Amino acid sequence: MKRVPKRTTVDMSTKLGRLEFSSPVFTASGCAAAGKELDQFIDITTIGAVVTKSVMLNPRSGRATPRMAETPSGMLNGIGLQGPGIDDFIQNDLSWLSQKGAKTIVSIAGNNVEEFGKVADKLRDIPGVVAIEVNISCPNVENRGQVFACDPYAAADVINNVRRNVSASIPLFAKLSPDVTDITEIAKSVVKAGADGLSVINTLLGMVIDTDTLLPKLSGKTGGLSGPAIRPVAVRCVYQIRKALPNIPIIGMGGIRNGRDAIEFFAAGANAISVGTTVFNDPEACVRIHDETAEILQEKGIRSLSEIISAAHREDL
Amino acid sequence: MKRVPKRTTVDMSTKLGRLEFSSPVFTASGCAAAGKELDQFIDITTIGAVVTKSVMLNPRSGRATPRMAETPSGMLNGIGLQGPGIDDFIQNDLSWLSQKGAKTIVSIAGNNVEEFGKVADKLRDIPGVVAIEVNISCPNVENRGQVFACDPYAAADVINNVRRNVSASIPLFAKLSPDVTDITEIAKSVVKAGADGLSVINTLLGMVIDTDTLLPKLSGKTGGLSGPAIRPVAVRCVYQIRKALPNIPIIGMGGIRNGRDAIEFFAAGANAISVGTTVFNDPEACVRIHDETAEILQEKGIRSLSEIISAAHREDL
Amino acid sequence: MPIVHKGTVVDVKKVGSYFVLTATAADIPKDFKPGNFVAVAIGDERSSLILRRAFSIYQVNDRGVYGGTVDIVVSPHGPGTDYIANLKRNDPINLVGPLGKPFSLPKEPVPCVLVGGGYGAAPLFTLAEALTARGCRVDFILGASTQEKLFGMLEARRISTTLSVTTDDGTSGVMGRVTDVLPDVIKKSGAAVVYACGPMQMLKAVSEVATLHGIVSQTSVEESMACGIGVCMTCVMPIIGEDGVTRMLRSCVDGPAFRGDKVRWDEVGTIPADTWGAPEIGGH
Amino acid sequence: MPIVHKGTVVDVKKVGSYFVLTATAADIPKDFKPGNFVAVAIGDERSSLILRRAFSIYQVNDRGVYGGTVDIVVSPHGPGTDYIANLKRNDPINLVGPLGKPFSLPKEPVPCVLVGGGYGAAPLFTLAEALTARGCRVDFILGASTQEKLFGMLEARRISTTLSVTTDDGTSGVMGRVTDVLPDVIKKSGAAVVYACGPMQMLKAVSEVATLHGIVSQTSVEESMACGIGVCMTCVMPIIGEDGVTRMLRSCVDGPAFRGDKVRWDEVGTIPADTWGAPEIGGH
Ligand SMILES: Cc1cc2nc3c(=O)[nH]c(=O)nc-3n(C[C@H](O)[C@H](O)[C@H](O)COP(=O)(O)OP(=O)(O)OC[C@H]3O[C@@H](n4cnc5c(N)ncnc54)[C@H](O)[C@@H]3O)c2cc1C
Ligand SMILES: Cc1cc2nc3c(=O)[nH]c(=O)nc-3n(C[C@H](O)[C@H](O)[C@H](O)COP(=O)(O)OP(=O)(O)OC[C@H]3O[C@@H](n4cnc5c(N)ncnc54)[C@H](O)[C@@H]3O)c2cc1C
Ligand SMILES: Cc1cc2nc3c(=O)[nH]c(=O)nc-3n(C[C@H](O)[C@H](O)[C@H](O)COP(=O)(O)O)c2cc1C
Ligand SMILES: Cc1cc2nc3c(=O)[nH]c(=O)nc-3n(C[C@H](O)[C@H](O)[C@H](O)COP(=O)(O)O)c2cc1C
Ligand code: FES
Ligand code: FES
């Protein structure tokens, strides 16, 4: 029996700009593939949205194994964006999702600014796609491999180019990296370039060394740190961005494991949340966290999720 | 009975430039006060060095409570550098340490470039002080509260000024923050300005929100994330800096809990390590980690710690 | 001297809303003084909870079949306290202690009132014994929100001259607060010192009553602690020193027992402006 | 369909170097097919180990006094496997399953050789039953580094036509590797299929022997897994498809059993240059 959200009197719907969602809990890109496998455990049409694994223009093998290492309350991954390429993705994954009736946010990536535009262009008028998440936390092959999201200009260039290649009505979410001196600078830059919202945060750059071989454990040496370990960094990033950009829609993520964690993100300013690494621990997590959040709000006597969004900023007003 | 390191046939001594230490395990600034309390549990003269809590020019009350929050495999702190001021510190803490015969590295901090210099100046010719750690991860009151360590120029200014105010023979370690886009840029900048070595890393900026009040849990809103949770970030930083600066002495730290963790830092390039948050869990940690490291090396048939330092870089050579 | 004890759980008993846990800790009984606490680790290296939890020492036993043991009273209400309450006989338990400054005992055999709020009563029984041994008259007041949360009634009755009980909901004793009965107990016993342990609000109120009656109070506070051994500076409170200057003192080593009239109760959670080293306006 | 089972430990038995754990998991027995595995959570939310551990299903029981149960064989050697080996009767255990593609069974009643290395034998006993039920002759080979690490000798003897045993140190059976005896067993039994589960090096060697004898091998691989359910892409192996193209396939959903001749054994841990989507020189 697939898990579905419990009935609740709390209004759990949320908005990201003009988009409405019946639940504020989404999957996180790369932690739910394209929804099919997870749909064995939960009914994916009952969560807020499925955010798909970042897809690139061409098929991509990803990196050699080992691709992961467990870390205290977290994990390091270096998958290398393995995927089928946008055409195959649209034909198989997106058509399955739209047939199911799932709300889909497609995450896209590219090796250079142009590739982002090309991938985005393919997504015009595909049914079921409610928004595009632009994963700018990947290395820019044109600029010494520096990650787009670590440079305000490179990040803006990508968003700008994607914006030009999609219909004006489709919302773009720029996904930011926490590995920067000032995340609000990047946030402002991509919003100016045309991002309608922000996804905060991607993984932190980390390394695990194998104490037997004394070499980095992942084939790619460094990898992305995720899971509960990074939650305080993610909450801080959401909070800072909400303060700098009071009205921008934010999808918050990073180590959310239960309803209390979700509440932290909403209070910090997230309008919706994505659940990533926790899905590996609990394939039912998206529905469970929705339920737990609703229960906590109910206990507090709060009738609608919207009442707590950005609550942690109230003393600054 | 105070714990002391077990006998071992492994040569556990290490060097930081010209300085020699019988053990590579130090305390971390702010996690051992000035050694006195810890000396109830371990004989602090038997560990590599005591790195004292960052001291400023004047007495300082620190921040209001709550000053901490527990996080998954870590904690957030916002102590606000409570301390007695440099004069009282020299008179009480340093004299106790030198009388004991402990090797002491004094961590200093300041609100502005000038204050760092003044504090450093007071430390001329104080017995027992083998090096100064310059904690540049505090807010620069002259520059909109931006953290010195987040700006290569501000960081260099501090080191430059400290260098001018101490005798040429005393080694300076600049303590870096991981909250930057490129930590090697800051590392190079402070080395050019006169740092003889680097302490890597200070805490990550984080936030925990109290789900009852929906407000930040710490009185200072944000705080520093430490503990095992951040270890992969710390190892990555040490690795990156060792690659960029093959000969600079590095004191590595961030989430070290046991001998295996210590080995990761040495392999990444650290010449010595500091143990911080783990001391709260295990007051004997510095000696235990020394012992565990020696045992692992022994099992591997390695005779001297120096053989594994920077081992993770060997495939790059 | 505090040490790290790798002990074993000997017993866990439910008592009202609380759990009384007995653990082996060879050296604690001989070093122990009333008012000390222990810091308990939550699980082993696999645990994501890395900070220890502080518990007042309720009892120690030096001659039991298990060698030295220590008893604590646990009120489960969060991940760490839940973990401890769920420990079973023979489980390993790692505790550091004895920690903290003990209660100061009066030099003369003067009458003393001991006020315990909820599990705050825990450290008062060994204190009562020590006071009695010095010839002090001991009167007990136990208070809690409700009957289940009263701790140690029988024992308090046994070792004290009088026992008064209050509950917020009237399920046991007088309906009300400990400070509703305290003035009367002070007067009747002729107390020269009040000892109190319990919630911050209670300590503040007790301290005020004591001051009003011109007698000394010793309050054992409960601030959030990261290390418990004095090295981290998380557990500070604004305390007025003998020189009249307020300093942020560590409740784990300078306390947990402070003289009630020296604690700036209304400013706990702030840095009073006249504190030693307080920030200038706009400072840290 | 795999589901999340909040089960209970029914029993943990030490068998040689291993621990056989029985847990309640109501729905697994009816969905189970030989070759499936379960993913076990390491502790609750307090645990710092957030990834599940994969274990082949050794046995299932649908009609026991505990309802549906599943048995796994655990070789403790790291924090997660140590945790599981130390579980006690009545402890909670959270497992997801049945996961993975089962072994493919031959359509005809052909002779089969089953080769288990160490705890790799675990999934082969239910497989043997299924093969026997189809009329296949089953010959068993069990190998390990030493006697203590052999698993299931008695059972293998019971359900097979012949059992051959090898140990690296000669403490049991033939001193040597499973592949030292495999050619002989294939010849004597006239096997058409070899099934193998065990360390990667063994699978490679078994697969080569099978190919040499012109018969099919099914190898159940063990790649490091983060999710076990197909959503994370950590567990990939270079596998040659029916179209001759090599792809990085997920061993948790496209495996763990792959045809031995389709696995590019020498290039496990790399991206072979001709892989679908492989990076150009200097690429990702
Ligand atoms: C000197 C002293 C004596 C104490 N004696 C007892 C006792 O006898 N019986 C009893 O049940 N409790 C006692 N406490 C309180 C007990 O330490 C806390 O209830 C416990 O730490 C909370 O842990 P948790 O994981 O359940 O809750 P959480 O709120 O999840 O704890 C999170 C973090 O905050 C810290 N923390 C939270 N509340 C407190 C608190 N009130 N005091 C100290 N640290 C806190 C914890 O140590 C932990 O690091 C005492 C506290 C102190 C300081
Ligand atoms: C399909 C499958 C079936 C398996 N069947 C069994 C079995 O029947 N009995 C048994 O004892 N073991 C089995 N294993 C191996 C078992 O999953 C690992 O030994 C275990 O995950 C190691 O966990 P650890 O915490 O002890 O070690 P660690 O090395 O600390 O594990 C760290 C991380 O790496 C992963 N990992 C490490 N080694 C492996 C591995 N070999 N396979 C998968 N993940 C790994 C873990 O899941 C964990 O996330 C099987 C593995 C797979 C993939
Ligand atoms: C295995 C794995 C793969 C990921 N792949 C992607 C990806 O393709 N695109 C992306 O934008 N983020 C990717 N992420 C990052 C997550 O979407 C998320 O931002 C991050 O993991 C923090 O959330 P969490 O702690 O809940 O996992 C991946 C994370 C993991 C663990
Ligand atoms: C409570 C606390 C106080 C700290 N105070 C200081 C300080 O005064 N100066 C400093 O340079 N670092 C300070 N740090 C940072 C540590 O020295 C160390 O760099 C960091 O905590 C990472 O190491 P860890 O994970 O082992 O704790 C403090 C850390 C903690 C947890
Ligand atoms: S708890 Fe660390 S100083 Fe008191
Ligand atoms: S383990 Fe996640 S896809 Fe196989």
pLDDT in tens, B221-267: 999 999 999 999 999 999 999 999 999 999 999 999 999 999 999 99
B19: alpha, beta or left, given left = phi > 0 and alpha = psi -120 to 50? beta
Q: Half-sphere exposure of residue C247, counting CA atoms within 13 Å on the CB side?
A: 15
Nearest ligand 2 atom, CA D222: 53
Please list the helix, strand and coil fractions of chain C in percent, rounded to the nearest 5, in that order. 25, 35, 40
- Flag if A267 and B214 touch (Cβ within 8 Å): yes
| Residues whose CB is less than 8 angstroms from the CB of residue C98 and which lie 6 or more positions away in sequence, other chains included | C2, C28, C31, C32, C33, C36, C37, C38, C57
Structure-token pair, residue D114: 């089953």
Backbone angles phi, psi at C215, to 5 degrees: -120, 165
Largest CA distance in chain C: 60
The rounded Å distance from CA B4 to ligand 6 centre is 45
The rounded Å distance from CA B108 to ligand 3 centre is 38
SS (H, E, C) B162-221: HHHCCCCCCCEEEEECCCCCCHHHHHHHHHHCCCCEEEECCCEEEECEECCCCEECECCE
| List of chain D residues whose C-beta atoms are within 8 Å of the C-beta of residue A63 | 271, 284
| Residues whose CB is less than 8 angstroms from the CB of residue B258 and which lie 6 or more positions away in sequence, other chains included | B288, B289, B292, C45
Decide whether any atom of ligand 6 lies within 6 Å of the D237 Cβ.
no
Q: Does A263 touch chain B (CB under 8 A)?
A: yes
Strand partners, D112: D138, D193
Confidence of residue C284 (pLDDT cuts 50, 70, 90): very low
pLDDT of residue C277: 94
A91-100 as b/e: b if 16+ CB within 10 A: eebbeebbeb
Q: What is the C-alpha to C-alpha distance for residues C107 and A226, in angstroms, rounded to an integer?
A: 59
* Site to substitute for ligand 4 among B67, B138, B172, B203, most atoms within 8 A of C-beta: B203
C228-256 as b/e: b if 16+ CB within 10 A: bbbbbbbbbbbbbeeeeebbbbbbbbbbb
Give how far A125 is from chain C: nearest CA, Å.
Answer: 46
Q: Does D48 touch chain B (CB under 8 A)?
A: yes
Edge-to-edge strands, sheet with B172-176: B25-27, B272-275, B250-253, B197-200, B172-176, B129-135, B104-108, B50-51
Amino acid at B44: I
Q: What is the C-alpha to C-alpha distance for residues A302 and A284, in angstroms, rounded to an integer?
A: 25
The rounded Å distance from CA D249 to ligand 6 centre is 10
| Residues whose CB is less than 8 angstroms from the CB of residue A259 and which lie 6 or more positions away in sequence, other chains included | A289, A291, A292, A293, A294, A295, A296
Point out the residues of chain A with pLDDT beneath 50. Answer: none
- Flag if A209 and B268 touch (Cβ within 8 Å): yes
Q: Are A225 and A204 in contact (CB under 8 A)?
A: yes
- Flag if B82 and C236 touch (Cβ within 8 Å): yes
pLDDT of residue A317: 58
Other C-beta atoms within 10 Å of C266: how many?
Answer: 10
Q: Is A31 a catalytic residue?
A: no
Say whether pLDDT at C79 is over 50: yes
- For CA atoms B150, B152, B153, B159, give the dihedral sign: positive
* Site to substitute for ligand 5 among C250, C254, C258, most atoms within 8 A of C-beta: C250
Q: How many helices (H) and strands (E) does chain D have?
A: 6, 16
User: What residue spans define the domains of chain D?
Assistant: 3-99, 103-222, 223-284
Mean pLDDT in residue range C74-101: 96
Say whether pLDDT at D63 is over 90: no
Give how far B205 is from chain A: nearest CA, Å.
Answer: 6
Q: Are B31 and B54 in contact (CB under 8 A)?
A: no
Give how far A9 is from chain C: nearest CA, Å.
Answer: 27
pLDDT of residue C281: 53
Q: What is the C-alpha to C-alpha distance for residues B137 and B135, in angstroms, rounded to an integer?
A: 5
Angle, nearest 10°, between helix axes A259-268 and A231-244?
30
End-to-end CA distance of chain D: 35
Q: Which ligand is nearest to the CA of D37?
A: 2
DSSP code at position B21 = E
pLDDT in tens, C237-248: 999 999 999 999
Cα angle: B242, vertex B245, B251; to 5 degrees:
50
Nearest ligand 2 atom, CA D82: 26
Decide whether any atom of ligand 2 lies within 6 Å of the D75 Cβ.
yes
pLDDT of residue B317: 58
| Residues whose CB is less than 8 angstroms from the CB of residue B39 and which lie 6 or more positions away in sequence, other chains included | B2, B100
C74-89 as b/e: b if 16+ CB within 10 A: bbeeebbbebbbebee
Decide whether any atom of ligand 2 lies within 6 Å of the D122 Cβ.
yes
- Flag if B280 and C231 touch (Cβ within 8 Å): yes
Q: Are C143 and C115 in contact (CB under 8 A)?
A: yes
Show the beta-strand stretches assigned E in B46-124.
50-51, 68-71, 74-77, 104-108
Structure-token pair, residue D253: 């959903």
Q: What is the C-alpha to C-alpha distance for residues B173 and B133, in angstroms, rounded to an integer?
A: 5
Mean residue pLDDT of chain B comes to: 96
Nearest CA in chain D to A74: D50
Distance of alpha carbon B237 from the chain centroid: 14
Pairing of strands A197-200, A172-176: parallel
Decide whether any atom of ligand 5 lies within 6 Å of the C236 Cβ.
no
- Flag if A312 and B230 touch (Cβ within 8 Å): no
Q: Which ligand is nearest to the CA of C220?
A: 1
Tell me if residue D201 falls in helix, strand or coil. helix
| List of chain A residues whose C-beta atoms are within 8 Å of the C-beta of residue C48 | 72-73, 228
Amino acid at D151: F
Tell me if residue A15 falls in helix, strand or coil. strand
Which residue from A211, A232, A314 is facing B207, i.e. has the nearest CB? A232
Second CATH level (architecture) for the domain C223-284: Ribbon (2.10)
Using the structure block, give the residue that is written with the tokens 């869990």: B281
Decide whether any atom of ligand 6 lies within 6 Å of the D232 Cβ.
yes
pLDDT in tens, C119-164: 999 999 999 999 999 999 999 999 999 999 999 999 999 999 999 9
**Residue D53: which of D198, D220, D195, D235 has the closest Cα?**
D235
A188-200 as b/e: b if 16+ CB within 10 A: bbbbebbbbbbbb
Amino acid at A55: V
Other C-beta atoms within 10 Å of B300: how many?
Answer: 15
Decide whether any atom of ligand 6 lies within 6 Å of the D223 Cβ.
no
Structure-token pair, residue A40: 């064995």
Tell me if residue C281 falls in helix, strand or coil. coil
> Residues in chain D whose beta carbon is closer than 8 A to a beta carbon of chain C?
42-43, 45-49, 79, 83
| pLDDT > 70: percent of chain B | 100
Nearest ligand 4 atom, CA B231: 25
Q: Which ligand is nearest to the CA of C85?
A: 1
Tell me if residue A27 falls in helix, strand or coil. strand
**Residue B57: which of B91, B97, B88, B79 has the closest Cα?**
B88
| CATH superfamily membership of B14-310 | Aldolase class I (3.20.20.70)
Decide whether any atom of ligand 2 lies within 6 Å of the D79 Cβ.
yes
pLDDT in tens, D131-170: 999 999 999 999 999 999 999 999 999 999 999 999 999 9
* Site to substitute for ligand 4 among C52, C224, C229, C232, most atoms within 8 A of C-beta: C232
Q: Are C251 and B67 in contact (CB under 8 A)?
A: no
Q: Does A142 touch chain D (CB under 8 A)?
A: no
Q: Does A72 touch chain C (CB under 8 A)?
A: yes
Amino acid at C263: V
Decide whether any atom of ligand 2 lies within 6 Å of the D17 Cβ.
no
Distance of alpha carbon A168 from the chain centroid: 22
The rounded Å distance from CA B24 to ligand 1 centre is 34
Confidence of residue C282 (pLDDT cuts 50, 70, 90): very low
Cα–Cα distance list, D40 to A275, A281, C70, D20 (Å): 20, 9, 36, 14
Cα angle: D212, vertex D218, D222; to 5 degrees:
115
Out of 3.40.50.720, 3.40.50.1010, 3.40.50.80, 3.20.10.10, the CATH code matching C103-222 is 3.40.50.80
Q: What is the C-alpha to C-alpha distance for residues A53 and A97, in angstroms, rounded to an integer?
A: 13
Say whether pLDDT at C283 is over 60: no
List, as one string, the DSSP characters of C57-103.
--EEEEEETTEEEEEEEE---SHHHHHHHT--TT-EEEEEEEESBPP
Mean residue pLDDT of chain D comes to: 95
The rounded Å distance from CA A81 to ligand 6 centre is 14
Nearest CA in chain D to C78: D46
| List of chain A residues whose C-beta atoms are within 8 Å of the C-beta of residue D2 | 40-41, 283
Tell me if residue A236 falls in helix, strand or coil. helix
Nearest ligand 4 atom, CA B135: 11
| pLDDT > 70: percent of chain C | 99
Nearest ligand 6 atom, CA D225: 1
pLDDT in tens, C157-196: 999 999 999 999 999 999 999 999 999 999 999 999 999 9
Write down how long chain C is.
Answer: 284
Structure-token pair, residue B277: 């948050």
Which residue from B181, B231, B268 is facing A150, i.e. has the nearest CB? B181
| pLDDT > 90: percent of chain B | 94
Write down how long chain B is.
Answer: 317
Q: What is the C-alpha to C-alpha distance for residues D14 and B280, in angstroms, rounded to an integer?
A: 37
Structure-token pair, residue A143: 């600029």
Dihedral angle computed from the Cα positions of residues C176, C178, C181 and C182, in that order, rounded to the nearest 10 degrees = -160
Other C-beta atoms within 10 Å of C136: how many?
Answer: 19
Q: What is the C-alpha to C-alpha distance for residues A258 and B71, in angstroms, rounded to an integer?
A: 14
pLDDT in tens, A192-224: 999 999 999 999 999 999 999 999 999 999 999
Q: What is the C-alpha to C-alpha distance for residues A40 and A186, in angstroms, rounded to an integer?
A: 38
End-to-end CA distance of chain C: 35
Q: Report the CATH fold assignment for C3-99.
A: Elongation Factor Tu (Ef-tu); domain 3 (2.40.30)
pLDDT in tens, C33-49: 999 999 999 999 999 99
